[in-house]
């Protein structure tokens, strides 16, 4: 005779399989900068992380175009120390270092122009990133219209 598992136990198994165990589900962090937004997502396995960085920003010298990028990385988290190494050839330093304290992630890197920079991330979501990108796109569109002599659309 087969034993049936209680429904609550099956619900718990389904939840664990969807969210993952031991950090297997992606962690998502969002950072706002004066000229853009960045999203980091990673999956952690012990001290090792693999993930991606998505960015959308406006270059201060080119206010009528939205720039964006998506970059893969691998890295380590030991205690609160974080090191991310980007694959390929991004337009910034390939190694970012920083710290992870609860829901806050702080990462330092060097820009393509050689300036040291720190981004401060908080737990976030893809939906928050998408909303921030949409807001930046609206600003870029308004700037482009103003430069072309057309009136900008009025906000609702």
* Residue in 128, 131, 156, 151 with CA at minimum distance from that of residue 141: 151
Q: Which fold has domain 23-147?
A: Lipocalin (2.40.128)
CB-based contact 112:103 (threshold 8 Å): no
* pLDDT tens sequence across 6-55: 333 333 333 332 333 444 579 999 999 989 999 999 999 999 999 999 99
- The model's pLDDT over 70-92, given as tens digits with 9 standing for 90+, comes to 999 999 999 999 999 998 776 67
Domain ranges, ordered by start, for the chain: 23-147
Cα torsion angle, 54, 48, 15, 3, sign: positive
The pTM for the full model equals 0.76
Q: Which residues fall within 8 angstroms of residue 44, CB to CB, at 6 or more apart?
A: 22, 23, 24, 27, 77
């Amino acid at each position: 005779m087969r034993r049936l598992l209680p429904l609550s136990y099956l619900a718990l198994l389904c939840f664990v399989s969807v969210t993952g165990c031991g950090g297997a589900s992606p962690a998502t962090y969002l950072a706002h900068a004066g000229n853009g937004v960045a999203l980091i997502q990673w999956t952690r396995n012990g001290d090792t992380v693999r993930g991606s960085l998505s960015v959308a920003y406006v270059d201060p010298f080119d206010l009528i175009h939205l720039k964006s990028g998506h970059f893969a990385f691998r890295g380590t988290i030991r205690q609160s120390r974080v090191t991310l190494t980007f694959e390929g050839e991004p337009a910034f330093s390939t190694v970012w270092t920083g710290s992870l304290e609860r829901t806050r992630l702080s990462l330092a890197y060097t820009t393509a122009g050689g300036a040291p920079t720190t981004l401060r991330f908080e737990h976030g979501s893809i939906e928050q990133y998408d909303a921030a990108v949409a807001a930046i796109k609206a600003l870029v569109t308004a700037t482009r219209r103003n430069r072309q002599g057309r009136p900008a659309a009025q906000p609702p």
